[in-house]
């Protein structure tokens, strides 16, 4: 990565790496409400690597737009590793992107389904492999959402640069 990119926010590095690898990304977001996609498209030239983004804030949107199974949401709820994986897998399937990243969590100020504020799962689907990562962020709603986006960018870079 060139020196000029080292001083830039992570979204610039992500867009540059996606371009270099000729990859297209799509996003599936719940608690971040499109913040991840917005950060990507803030980068000039992102249109060559960003396909589409899904804001699936409610369960029905996760089911209808991404194909998350109703049983998954009933058993594990929206904020879970299983849901994050199904969101990412569904995002790849419906968008046709090479890589998809999903974010689902509790940004606060209140708990959701007995899950604590700051609990966030970030899912990633790339090259027929899916995984999700659990995080416990601290701070207010805005801070938690921003931390989730930053972590998502780190996961993207780690995944595609393996």
pLDDT greater than 80 at residue 6: no
Instruction: Indicate the DSSP class of residue 48.
Output: G
**Tens of pLDDT, residues 30-82:** 999 999 999 999 999 999 999 999 999 999 999 999 999 999 999 999 999 99
SS3 54: strand
Statement: residue 5 has pLDDT above 90: no
Rounded mean pLDDT, 82-91: 98
Q: Is the predicted pLDDT of residue 3 greater than 90, yes or no?
A: no
Determine contact, residues 57/44, Cβ cutoff 8 Å.
Answer: no
Q: What pLDDT shows up at residue 1?
A: 47
Cα–Cα distance between 64 and 67 in angstroms, integer?
A: 6
Q: Smallest Cα–Cα separation from 123: which of 135, 134, 110, 132?
A: 132
**pLDDT tens-digit series, residues 109-152:** 999 999 999 999 999 999 999 999 999 999 999 999 999 999 99
Nearest CA among 94, 10, 98 for reference residue 56: 94
Q: Which two tokens stand for residue 66?
A: 């991404």
pLDDT attached to residue 121: 99
Asked if the model's pLDDT at residue 2 lies above 60, the reply is no
pTM: 0.96
d(CA 109, CA 132): 24
């Amino acid at each position: 990565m060139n020196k000029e990119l080292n001083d830039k926010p992570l979204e610039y590095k992500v867009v540059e790496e996606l371009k270099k690898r000729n990859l297209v990304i799509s996003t599936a977001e719940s608690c971040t409400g499109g913040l991840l996609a917005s950060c990507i498209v803030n980068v000039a030239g992102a249109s060559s690597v960003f396909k589409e983004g899904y804001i699936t804030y409610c369960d029905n949107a996760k089911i209808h737009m991404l194909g998350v199974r109703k049983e998954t949401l009933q058993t594990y709820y929206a904020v879970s590793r299983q849901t994050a994986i199904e969101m990412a897998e569904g995002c790849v399937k419906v968008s046709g992107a090479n890589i998809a990243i999903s974010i689902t969590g509790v940004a606060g100020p209140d708990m959701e389904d007995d899950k604590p504020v700051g609990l966030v799962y970030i899912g990633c689907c790339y090259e027929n492999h899916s995984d999700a990562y659990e995080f416990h962020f601290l701070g207010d709603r805005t801070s938690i959402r921003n931390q989730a986006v930053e972590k998502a960018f780190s996961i993207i870079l780690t995944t595609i640069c393996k």
